Amino acid sequence: NIRVIQQYSKDRNATEVTIMIAAVIFDMDGVIIDSELIHQGVELKLFRELGLNISTEEHNLYVGTPTRDMWKDFAGRYNLRRSADDLIKLNRKRYMEHILSQPDIKPIPGVVDLIDEIHKAGLKVALASSSSVEEIRTVLKLFRLDTSFHEVLSGDYVERGKPSPDIFILTAERLSLKPAECVVIEDSKNGISAAKAAGMKCVGFYNPNSRNQDLSQADIV
């Protein structure tokens, strides 16, 4: 039961300021597609092939961040025999193969109706995902959502991925809006941190498959 917040007020210097919410920005993995377990399975298999003993706690730190950031960190930290670029490409290739092998995969229940309701409310709708451009296009096409967003941004578009606010700041700029006019829907601690650092309101979506994320920074869960 996620409701769109169209307006909120706050007290600033004893003067009431009303800020209109003009856009809702969606994360993709864990919010539109229940993909965190897929990502986890692909990555765990790669860890085994590389002889990496990555703890669950360390792996979970990268939920919501670009795949490239994880492999760049691991390549430097563990002196891997394959380059970070090779592992990023392999990780993405295997994820795409898995998604495309399951034609019956469906969006998270309720999300398509929610997107329609936001459009009917006259708000802009955007997607800001840490996934690659190719992964985003594939998922949106599978779910017939490829024309549902005013702006679609990938983590590939920014130098710093979530939890840095760069992708959300860029999304607001593309929408010609101020960050305070945007609400983000996120399922991960890193995504929520990025949204709040960008100066946006954030709805934390509890997804049990997103590896027990801390949603406490969200304005509402």
Catalytic site positions: 27, 29
- Cα–Cα distance for residue pair 32/86, rounded to 1 Å: 28
Nearest CA to 203 out of 213, 190, 217 is that of 217
- The DSSP 8-state label assigned to residue 157 in this structure reads G
Distance CA(219)–CA(192), nearest Å, equals: 9
The Cα-based distances of 126 to 38, 69, 74, 106, 178 in angstroms read 24, 23, 31, 20, 14
- The H or E element that residue 11 is part of is strand 7-12
Q: What does the DSSP 8-state code read for residue 154? A: E
